[in-house]
Amino acid sequence: MEINKEPSLVDKAKNLTTAAVNWAKKDGFSRVPDEIFQARKSICLACPSWDAEAFNNTGRCKICGCSVAKLYIPSAKCPDTPPKWDVVNA
Please give the residue range of the domain that contains residue 51. Answer: 30-82
What is the rounded distance in angstroms from the CA atom of residue 71 to the CA atom of residue 20? 12
- In-domain check, residue 24: no
- Give this prediction's pTM: 0.85
* Cα four-point dihedral sign 23, 25, 26, 28: positive
Residue 63 covered by a domain:
yes
* C-beta of residue 27 within 8 angstroms of C-beta of residue 74: yes
Q: Residue 20: inside a domain, yes or no?
A: no
The predicted structure's pLDDT at residue 1? 46
Domains in the chain, number? 1
The verdict on residue 55 lying in a domain is yes
49: in domain: yes
Q: What is the pLDDT of residues 7-61, one digit of tens each?
A: 898 998 998 899 999 999 999 999 999 999 999 999 999 999 999 999 899 999 9
pLDDT at 80: 95
Asked whether residue 59 is assigned to any structural domain, the reply reads: yes
Answer yes or no: is 87 within a domain: no
| 5 has pLDDT over 80 | no
The mean pLDDT of 55-82, rounded to a whole number, is: 93
In a domain, 17, yes or no: no
